[in-house]
Structure 1
Amino acid sequence: MTFFYMMALFAVGLVLIIKGGDWFVDAAVWLAGVLGVPQFLIGATVVSVATTLPELTASAIAAFEGKVDMAVGNAVGSVTVNVSLILGVAVLGAPFLIRRSQLWGQGALLAAGCLVALLCSLRGSLSALGCVLLLLLFLGYVAFNIYTAKKERSAERPAARPGDRRRQIAGFLLGAAGIVVGAKLLVYSGSGIARMAGVPEAFIAVTIISFGTSLPEFTIAVTAAVKKHTGLSAGNIVGAGVIDITLILPLCAVFSGRALPISPQGLLLDMPVSLVAVLVCCVPALLTQRFRRWQGACMVGVYVLYVAALLWLFV
């Protein structure tokens, strides 16, 4: 297989995963509206789950095929990409206020997930206890969102999105198929590019693939910033990070059928940096109840330093 053929497959995989995610989100939000789910709960759960489907499918397929470094690197790397690069760019473009009550729960769960994943991997693999603790944090995330939705629910029910029922169902199914097929192509071409270029798969996973599968979050962040709905962007990105760490990592262990080995790169750099990125994202915002441009610059700086360290130490 030639390098250009692999790059073409990679590009096709990205297009499928992005367009599939777009169709899936539209259909999922329409379905939630039909069922009368509160709008807050739609944003906090359906949108976050839908935008993390690329990470979930890419990591699950990689784990099932034995490419554990790629599976773990994509899940952990997506957290770093989301909370440092993507949200950082959004904050640089449009600083915004955020209520402490909106951020503290998800921010605390995300930081706890990163810390648990790191501590439970110190012996070189993510232990069964670590997987259980992460899944408990995920259940806590779901419970927190339900509690908050009930607490802040308005008297009005969200209206169902207009459109033909068959078109929405087709979009739901085609979107899911596009995500799965795109993730398969992404994993296959990513590992092929890594082998041809002599680059470790773990590096490809935490940079190119993790950014590629985070493009739905990037799209939402940019759109939300343009439409002045930046709080939605922050909630989706932090929520997606919680899912990446607390759900996708344990599922990778299930799909691999064994304890999840963590590479030296993952243990010494990827996981610690993801925790630092979360703290840089959440702590100043919790203290001041706003995201400022200097904080956005710091968040982007964390990602730039992270990639530089990867190139210096592991490539």
Structure 2
Amino acid sequence: MISVILLFILGLFLICFGGDKLVDSSVALAKKIGIPQIVVGATIVSIGTTLPEILVSTTAAFDGSAAISAGNAFGSIICNTALIAGFGQLIRPAKKVEFTSLAWRCLFFFATILAMTAYGWFTGSFDRVSGIVLLCLFALYAWLNMARAKSEEEVTVESEESLEELKKISLPRNLMMLAFCAVLLFLGANLLVDNGIIIAGYLGVPERVIAVTAIALGTSLPELVTTIMSLVKGCENVGLGNIIGANILNLLLVIGIPATITGMKLETQTVRVDAPLGALLMGILILPILFRKKGSRVQGAVLLGCYALYCAFNFF
């Protein structure tokens, strides 16, 4: 049992250290390239923090359990939006958000999740064809991010740095650090979840409680740590961008890859509750920010309340 506790602590250290350095490197990249922090958060950072969900869903597909991937994806969207983004907005609301940077990504997300919900409602599954379509949409999303990078350059730099200081920021080194931090986050999340489940079982916590809390939250730990670190460092827009990008990748890759490999059957609750709720929560998070160009603590409180109700619904 001592070794389990030590591994649990090691996992916690890895995700805290990885999240801390991930935020530092992403902010440095944003300054070096001259693009808004929210863009970096929605692209490079979100790919790194979504690795646990992607690998879990892919492994499940090869093990013949692809059906859990959809629940994992939509559950992560709910957790990311209601718990993590809600916590972030409550502590330090997003501010000075660029409309163009946010608007097209949100439109992409809502169009995708609504189409997927309708398709799943009528077919009861995501087959290989729909999986291939999702992977093609990921290629489109990646291309749009690259194509629009120039038009999303920041007009002003909030903390003005001298030319000499900007020259000291190494692009290759920060990219390598991002990749290294993504690996740390993945390893840390695995250690924390696996050993946390063992500890919970030892303490007599019911399996249902473990499934709804430890596993669902475990794959979203990188997003949680990255959001917390971005708040601590005063870079709240990195955390917001990370949540938006991670939610899009949950749809396109976490479901797209296993659907392409084997196809997946959908549970009734996934289509009728989880998917529509994910879209609703994103609307609560995004729409006020789009119109006001900043978040509010009221949003955070509402989102956290929604997550509490969702957990209670799953328990009872």
State whether TM-score is above 0.5: yes
Contact 2:125–2:264 (CA<8 Å) still a contact in 1? yes
Change (3 A) 1:142 1:173: closer
Q: 1:276 to 1:8 in 2, by over 3 A?
A: farther
Structure 2 distance, partners of 1:163, 1:287, is 34
Q: Which residue of 2 aligns with 1:56?
A: 54
Query: In the alignment, which residue of structure 1 is the partner of 2:242?
Result: 236
- Name which of structure 1's ranges 172-181 and 57-66 shifts more when overlaid on structure 2: 172-181
Specify the alignment match of 1:126 in structure 2.
126
> Which structure has more RCO (C-alpha within 8 Å, separation ≥ 6)?
2
In structure 1, runs of 5+ residues without a counterpart are none
Please say if 1:108 is aligned against 2:107.
yes
Among 221, 225, 230, the residue aligned to 2:231: 225
Note the C-alpha offset of 1:240.
1.2
Task: Please state how far the C-alpha of 1:250 moved relative to its aligned partner.
Answer: 0.6
Q: TM-score, normalised by structure 1?
A: 0.76
Return the alpha-carbon distance in structure 2 between the equivalents of residues 121 and 10 of structure 1. Answer: 37
Query: Kindly tell me: are residues 150 and 175 of structure 1, through their superposed partners in 2, closer, same or farther at Cα, counting changes over 3 Å?
Result: closer
Instruction: Count residues with an aligned counterpart.
Output: 300
Residues 1:187 and 1:216: Cα distance change in structure 2 (over 3 Å): closer
Give matches, 1:266-305, under 5 Å: 266-305=270-309
**Worse overlay, 16-25 or 116-125:** 16-25
Q: Which runs of 5 or more residues in structure 2 are unaligned?
A: 156-162
Q: Which residue of 1 aligns with 2:160?
A: none
Distance apart, 1:176 and its partner CA: 6.0
How far the C-alpha of 1:213 sits from its partner, in A, is 2.0
Looking at structure 2, the residues matched to 235 and 10 of structure 1 have their Cα atoms a distance apart, in angstroms, of: 29
User: Which residue of structure 1 aligns with residue 158 of structure 2?
Assistant: none
1:50 positional shift: 0.9
Q: CA RMSD in A?
A: 3.9
Structure 1 residue 67, shift from structure 2 partner: 3.1
CA distance in 1, matches of 2:196, 2:128: 28
Taking a change above 3 Å as real, the CA distance of residues 231 and 25 of structure 1, as seen in their structure-2 partners, is closer
- Offset, 1:56: 1.4
Q: Percent identity?
A: 31
- 1:228 and 1:135 map into 2 onto residues whose CA distance is 34
Shift, 1:296, TM fit? 1.4
For the 8 Å contact 2:73–2:251, the answer to whether it is kept is yes
Shift of 1:8: 8.0
Q: Summarize the Cα distance change of 1:22–1:247 in structure 2 as closer, same or farther, 3 Å threshold.
A: farther
CA contact (8 A) 1:99 1:289 kept: yes
Aligned partners of 2:179 and 2:94: how far apart in 1? 36
Q: CA deviation at 1:53?
A: 1.2
Q: CA deviation at 1:103?
A: 1.5
Q: Quick check: 2:80–2:243 contact (8 Å CA) kept in 1?
A: yes
Distance change (3 Å), C-alpha of 1:143 and 1:186: same
